Amino acid sequence: MTLDNMTQGEIKTRAASVEFKSVTKRYGTEVTAVDDVSLHVEAGELVTLLGPSGCGKTTTLRMIAGLEMATEGKILIGGSDVTQLPATDRDVSMVFQSYALFPHMTVLENVCYGLRASGKKKKQSVELAEHGLDLVGLAGYGSRLPSELSGGQQQRVAVARALVLEPQVLLFDEPLSNLDAKLRRQVREDIRDIQQRLSLTVVYVTHDQEEALAVSDRIIVMKNAMIAQVGSPRELYEQPASEFVADFIGEANIVEAQISAVHEGLATVHVGDVTLNLDSRGLAAGSAKLAVRPNRIFIEPHHPGSADALVGSVLKATYVGDRIEYKVATDLGALFCTSEATDRQVVEGSEVAVRFDDVGPVLLPHSA
Amino acid sequence: MKQIQKLAAAVGVALLGCMSQSIAAEKVTYYCSAQEDWCQLMASGFEEATGIKVNMTRKSSGETFAQIKAEADNPKGDVWWGGTGDPHLQAAEEGLTEAYESPMRGELHDWSISQSESADNKTIGIYSGALGYGYNEEILKANNLPEPACWEDLLKPEYKGHVQMANPNSSGTAYTTLATIVQLFGEDEGFEFMKGLHKNINQYTKSGSAPIKAAARGENTIGIVFMHDAVKQAASGFPIKVVAPCEGTGYEIGSMSLIKDGRNLENAKKFYDWALTADVQSRSLEVKAFQVMSNKSAESSPQAPDLASIKLIDYDFKKYGSSAERKRLLKKWDDEVSTLPR
Amino acid sequence: MSAPVSDVLATRRGSRVVILWLFIGLLGYFVLPWYMLEDGFFSFEWLFDGYPFDSDYAPGAFLVYQGEKIWLTPLILPLLLPLVVLGRKTDRRFFSTVLIVAGVSGFFYLFAQGFAIGIRGFNAEWMTALFGELGDRQFGFGYGAVLLACTFLFYLTTGIAARGYINGDVFVVGAIGFIISIVAIFIFFPIAQMLSSALHDNDGAYSLSVFVEKFSENKIWGLACLTENRGCGVAWNSLFLAVIVGATTTLLGLVFALVATRSGFRYGNWLRALTVLPIITPPFVIGLAIILLFGLSGTVTQWVAGALDLQPSRWVYGLPGIMIAQMLSFTPIAFLVLIGVVEGVSPSMEEASQTLRASRWYTFKTVTFPLIRPGLANAFLLGFIESMADFGNPLVLGGNYDVLSTEIFFAIVGAQNDQGRAAVLAIVLLLFTLTAFYAQRRWLGKKSYITKTGKGDGGSHSLMPKRIMYPCYAIASIWVVFTVTVYGMIIYGGFVETWGLNHTLTLKHYITTFAIGFNEFGIHFKGTAWDSFFTTLKIAATAAPLTAIVGLITAYLLVRQQFRGKDWFEFGTMLSFAIPGTVVGVSYILAFNVPPLELTGTGIILIISFVFRNMPVGVRAGIASMSQLDKSLDEASLTLGANTWRTFRKVILPLMRPAILAALVFSFVRAMTAISAVIFLVSAEYNMATSYIIGRVENNDYGIAIAYSTTLIFVMLAAILLFQLLVGRNQTSRPFQTRTNVG
């Protein structure tokens, strides 16, 4: 699918906002899948629900779709209360992880399905469906069966099928998980393109943080049925609100630190022998935790008396192509860092000086 | 593929179309308790003669009685033809059947009329047959057994495992046997006889004529049945010899009744009269039914047992046909005979 | 005040359904004949014969108008009550309350009047005492009453849906209500009626002591066979037989399953085809063939007796004969259960064991066998239940070995004619089968070791160890030879003059049964069997799709919907599997001979009995295939704006073709070969093939019975092929696997 053969067609957008007000979903009396979650998705925005397996992100998505009913709380779409409304009656479409293409119908019949179900005339449905297929670059594939398409093509049929209904909200449930790595990047860009072109409201579920960072306007990180943090990709990456978020979005070394003083929002932080000046993020003097991304840690040959550096020894060095990953033992524990200087590999067992970048390390607020 | 499917569908529809025949306005529902081919003959004969459509069900007399009783609140049948007289009498006693005096009565044998009168004209005799037994000559010979001629012969120990009769609980024939023995020997001795017989019995079958059929096929040696059933097997070519026991024997009167509150009473009466005519009764020979027919002018087969030459007891249909006596005898048989070891 | 969106939508959708049912209800009350037509459901004579004023054919409204059956008047109120809420913006609660009130009151009143006033006026004496003689009577429900009953039922379910039950899904609630109603009416009601008849003496008076006396009878529970040379009670006979048959069929089934999958045996498909034969064989035929082989004058008996110089005996009559016949008939069932189980054991388990240095025998003993053990128990219980319920074989081969199923039959039709005793015996039989059924569900229901993951396990099944393989081959060969002989005898038997006497080849029997002549009106079906043959085809062909529909809807509700009381719902729908045919026959006669549900003597009662007897199979086939369908297909359809009804029709049904085929074929075949319930329910107009065959067997016409049965076997084979064509192959080539979303 390329942008060239995309015709804007008659597919319009009726994007609407989504709002959760203290929504809880329980199965039976024991299991709480979603616990008192409130969130807001602006119209025309792509928001990703991100989290590890079992965090409640899919349940949240399914509650937007109406496939699960909230046990408590309210769900609003476009400002009206849809809490009690079943899936059929919600103006929401969904692209499933397995695509859920009807295997006994042709591609065109699949795309027409929702149009026919909502009472459109056959002729009009076919026209719209063809536009939809055109939009995803599958014009001319209408008479095939889903089983005759590749995985990526099936995925695009699923998108077209959802798009032609001009839904208020479009939902994606791990849409890339059944594609191979190469295709993923392509498809995710396509999805983002269409979303921005048609200014759709999209809620997107994934457990892959890289995917989330790449496509989202905003990301909602979930953990244990609750929201851990909400923010733009950059905010989440650079200013994680908790150890969990810091570690889940990209990798992070969490190290113990001491704040000796805070002045005008700037904290003086001691990590071993190293002293850093960082945004205090509301912390007062005392012990704190510091998150440092692996690429923000530098190692260099050890010279006695290096200031602002930790002393460590390389436990392990792994060459992974575009960079080298080091595991370094220090007084603060093992640190994980990467170096793009692949030409100069530090041999295992050698003594090194470990430094932190000036920007990058971030203090973690005392979290719940 | 699509075309094959269409073709298949068309064939299916056509088949269904063929099957649903239109329903004639005039009809009669006919329960038949005689042998299947005889029942068929009567049904098609009546349809031919009158143009009235006949819906026939063939079930044994016990089954038919049960059905009529179950349907008593809402009768489905019109006329019940054939089968031993007892259940007909019982139905009359329980008010399940309708009284009717046919104009044909003048042509009938006395035993037929007296059967009718004993039930307030709620039933009538159409044929009669005497009880007896038959044996398979080949098997008898193969086992070096003497030829039996009397009831008493059947008690001989050498016949152990060679005699078969139906269970009186399930078969009218066997009940007739029980009642005959009781009338012939008196109740106490009669039961002693049944106990002696029990030792020789290899199986109490469920259906009345099964013992002689088993004998015909070589599955049994001696079967206690109505003689005409045994004659039929002999006439079909099986090595069956028919015996009229020397002490004398009982008999049944195959009967016909009109079902009370039937929905086609008029047609049922037409059937009733028609079934009593000599012509119709003579046709029984076509289906190897060797009973003696009730119309005096009906033809009988030379193979049929001649009722005149058999010593018949004075069978008390009134008494032994009543529910109370039947229940009492059956219970006694159940308690005293069937539980004995063999 | 403006109602929330969901309320508006819910009432709007509900309203559409209510309008539909209101229309149908009006049709029932004002247009169609209210009472059952004497000529049957499918005759249309009434249209030209005094309709709409003749009181036999009049619609309810006309009856009331003419001052007859005035007790039908109040029905108009609940019928029209929903008009209060239609076409008006109403509060959802009010909407649902009105519908529930209309539905419940209408339904209740309709049945109450039906049960209260029967063919002889008031049915209960206290009513006569209270109101005096009625001086009028009524027959069973006809088109009109049935439609009105449906209307009230769906008012109620729509009302409940509007309450928000099951997301307010009108279709799902309606389907649940519908299934519950028909199961209640056609399974529970007759059984209850039978239980109550067991509690009444012959004069109809309530009596617990009569029940106790009949129940504890020596004939049922006697244990004399342990101490003396005479028979035990029928209950013990049945139990003993069922245990033996259950065990042997399971063993044989396992042997075949192993031979078919684990022996490298190349003709496994032929073996499968051979094991399917007994399923499409009418009852008695196997029994007859066994008599012809092993009876006193049977070929084998005579030969063995001659060879060993023994006195031939009647050994086959009784337990041995029934056992052989049932083994032949029910081994295929065990085979079909076990082949799934044996194939379901993942090869990688066995491969794992072998890579851990276990020998083949050790692997079989410690891995394979324990994995298939629950399947064995399952097969055993199925064989047990089938044996308990079997009627045809004991009838032909029983000798003096009485079992419950035949005893029930003769308690009704025998000279004793004791319905109460039949009911008591039926209760005993039901106790056994229900216990087995309950055990199967509770004990095994959840315990499945099927290890298939759907992930395309590489590898193939390892072969059996030799010390198992050879005995398996031996047993399977004997069985195959035996089956082939039996069926050879059957086919041959249809072509000889008289079995055992005159073995001249002849077409006589086929001509008698299936002769076709031509007269001035065209084709004339002269053969004596045509009538019952066409009836059987008609009934079986009608029952099969109904069974499939009811079964699949039930399966859909069970697999795809969550609702309270689902466990009980499932139990109720599967229950009829454990109710033997004779019990069904007896209870149907007791329950459906009188108004309001007056069905005896019609073809409908046969169809209904088949639908409910075979429903569990439809449900199972549906459940099995539906759980293979990715649930996100349904969900995709829902999020695309289709409602559940459309989803069911457009997505689920087309994808379930194999299950539909299985259900259709099975119920068709069962309807063609069923005897135990049928024998109570056939009537003059609707005589079935099997009951015709019984007649011929009773009459010693083995030739005709066998000729007819052979024809039926071929007809069933043809029908299976026809169904296959009609339903078509699944058009999708990709297997759909279940994926679960975890997130």
Rounded average pLDDT over C184-196: 89
Q: Is residue C200 part of a domain?
A: no
**Nearest chain B residue to C123, by CA:** B73
Q: In what helix (H) or strand (E) does residue A262 lie, and over which residues does it extend?
A: strand A253-263
| Statement to judge: residues C534 and C438 lie in one domain | no
pLDDT digits (tens, 9 = 90+) for C73-117: 899 999 999 988 887 767 788 888 999 999 999 999 999 988 888
Do residues C486 and C533 both lie within one domain? no
Residues of chain C with Cβ-Cβ distance to A161 below 8 Å are 636, 640
Q: Which domains does chain B have, with CATH numbers?
A: 27-128+253-304 (3.40.190.10), 129-251+322-338 (3.40.190.10)
CATH classification of the domain holding C694: 1.10.3720.10
pLDDT at C229: 67
Decide: B231 and B290 in contact? Cβ < 8 Å: yes
Whole-number Å distance between alpha carbons of C695 and B40: 12
Q: Do C642 and A66 touch (CB under 8 A)?
A: no
Question: In this complex, do A86 and C168 lie within 8 Å of one another by their Cβ atoms?
Answer: yes
Lowest mean pLDDT among A95-109, B290-304, C124-138, C470-484: C124-138
Whole-angstrom Cα distance, residue C106 to residue C79?
A: 7
Mean pLDDT of A51-71: 91
Q: How many CA atoms lie within 13 A of C385 on its CB side?
A: 24
As for how many domains chain C has, the answer is: 3
Instruction: Give C334 or C459, the one with higher predicted confidence.
Output: C334
Is C210 a domain residue?
Answer: no
pLDDT confidence band for C522 (50 / 70 / 90): low
CA-nearest of B188, B290, B155 to B232 is B290
Cα angle: C165, vertex C171, C176; to 5 degrees:
70
Contacts of C139 in chain B (CB under 8 A): 74
A25 touching C (Cβ < 8 Å): no
Contact residues, chain C, for B233 at CB < 8 Å: 700
Model confidence band, residue C34 (pLDDT cutoffs 50, 70, 90) = confident
pLDDT of residue C463: 72
pLDDT tens-digit series, residues C617-631 = 888 888 878 877 888
Domain boundary among C168, C188, C215: C168
Do the beta carbons of residue B248 and residue B311 sit within 8 Å? yes
Q: What domains lie within chain A, and their CATH numbers?
A: 18-243 (3.40.50.300), 251-364 (2.40.50.100)
Q: How far is C113 from chain B (nearest CA, A)?
A: 18
State yes or no: pLDDT of C305 exceeds 90.
no
pLDDT in tens, C310-343: 777 888 888 999 999 999 888 888 888 888 788 7
Question: Could you read off the pLDDT of C351-362 as tens digits, one per residue?
Answer: 777 778 777 788
Residue in chain C closest to A165 (alpha carbons) equals C640
The alpha-carbon gap from B29 to the nearest alpha carbon of chain C, in Å, equals 7
Do residues C703 and C605 share a domain? yes
The tens digit of pLDDT for each residue in A230-244 reads 999 999 998 898 889
Answer yes or no: do C702 and C620 share one domain: yes
Q: DSSP code of C207?
A: -
Q: Are residues C342 and C293 in the same domain?
A: yes
Residue C452 has a pLDDT of 39
State whether A69 and C635 contact (CB < 8 Å). no
User: What share of chain C in percent tops pLDDT 70?
Assistant: 88
What pLDDT shows up at residue C462?
Answer: 67
Q: State pLDDT tens for residues C133-177.
A: 777 777 788 889 999 999 999 999 999 988 878 877 889 999 999
pLDDT, mean of residues A3-23: 70
Same domain, C427 and C535: no
Residue C160: inside a domain: yes
What value does the CA radius of gyration of chain B take, rounded to a whole number of Å?
Answer: 22
Taking CB atoms and an 8 Å cutoff, what residues of chain C touch B56? 684, 687
More confident residue, C731 or C604: C604
**pLDDT over threshold 90, residue C679:** no
Nearest CA in chain B to C314: B219
Task: Report the Cα–Cα distance between both ends of chain C, in Å, rounded.
Answer: 40
Q: How far is CA C724 from CA B1, C662, C721, in A?
A: 11, 9, 5
H/E element holding C329? helix C319-344
Given a contact cutoff of 8 angstroms between Cβ atoms, the answer to whether C657 and C589 are in contact is no
pLDDT at C129: 79
- Asked if A207's CB is within 8 angstroms of C741's CB, the reply is no
| Residue C489 within any structural domain of the chain | yes
Tell me, what amino acid is at B135? Answer: Y
Contact C562/A at CB under 8 A: no
Please, which pLDDT band fits residue C261 given cuts at 50, 70 and 90?
Answer: confident
| pLDDT of residue A229 exceeding 90 | yes
In C27-166, alpha helices (H): 60-65, 76-80, 92-116, 125-131, 143-162
Same domain as C324, residue C407: yes
DSSP character at residue A83: T
Q: Are residues C29 and C156 in the same domain?
A: yes
Cβ pair B43, B32 in contact under 8 A: yes
Are C642 and A117 an interchain contact pair (Cβ–Cβ within 8 Å)? yes
Whether the per-residue pLDDT at C226 is higher than 60: the answer is yes
pLDDT in tens, chain B (342 residues): 445 555 555 544 444 443 333 333 588 999 998 877 788 889 888 988 888 888 887 777 777 887 788 777 778 889 999 988 888 988 998 899 999 999 999 999 888 998 898 889 999 999 988 999 999 999 899 889 999 999 999 999 999 989 999 988 877 789 899 999 999 999 999 999 999 999 999 988 877 888 998 899 888 999 999 998 899 888 888 899 999 999 999 988 889 999 998 888 999 999 999 999 999 999 988 888 888 899 988 887 777 777 778 888 888 888 887 778 888 998 899 888 888 877
| pLDDT tens-digit map of C366-391 | 877 878 888 888 889 889 988 998 88
Paired tokens of B172: 């009218």
Contacts of C675 (CB under 8 A, 6+ apart): C282, C283, C284, C391, C392, C581, C690, C691, C694
**Is C69 within the bounds of a domain?**
yes
The reply to whether C279 and C151 lie within a common domain is no
C650 domain-assigned: yes
Band of residue C445 on the pLDDT scale cut at 50, 70, 90: low
pLDDT value at position B72? Answer: 79
Residue C739 contacts A where some CB pair is shorter than 8 Å: yes
Q: What is the ipTM of this complex?
A: 0.83
pLDDT computed for residue C736 by the predictor:
35
* For A101, nearest residue in chain C (alpha carbons): C633
In a domain, C430, yes or no: yes
Q: Are strands B201-205 and B292-293 parallel, antiparallel or unpaired?
A: unpaired
- C258 and C397 housed in the same domain: yes
Q: What are phi and psi of C599, to 5 degrees?
A: -125, -15
Same domain, C601 and C720: yes
Determine, for residues C297 and B217 on separate chains, whether the beta-carbon distance falls below 8 Å: yes
User: In this structure, which amino acid lies at residue C53?
Assistant: F
Residues C24, C30, C31: CA angle, nearest 5 degrees: 80
- State whether residue A172 sits within 8 Å of chain C by CB: no
Which has more pLDDT, C262 or A260?
A260
Residue C240 contacts by C-beta under 8 Å, 6 or more apart in sequence?
C232, C319
Q: What pLDDT was estimated at residue C727?
A: 65
The arithmetic mean of pLDDT across residues C292-313, rounded, is 84
| C598 at interface of B, judged by CB pairs closer than 8 A | yes
Looking at the fold, whether C430 and C535 belong to one and the same domain comes out as no
Residue C449, domain extent = 234-493
Residue B324 touches partner C, C-beta closer than 8 Å: no
CB contact under 8 A, A104 and C731: yes
The model's confidence at residue C509, banded by pLDDT at 50, 70 and 90, is confident
Evaluate whether residue C65 is within a structural domain. yes
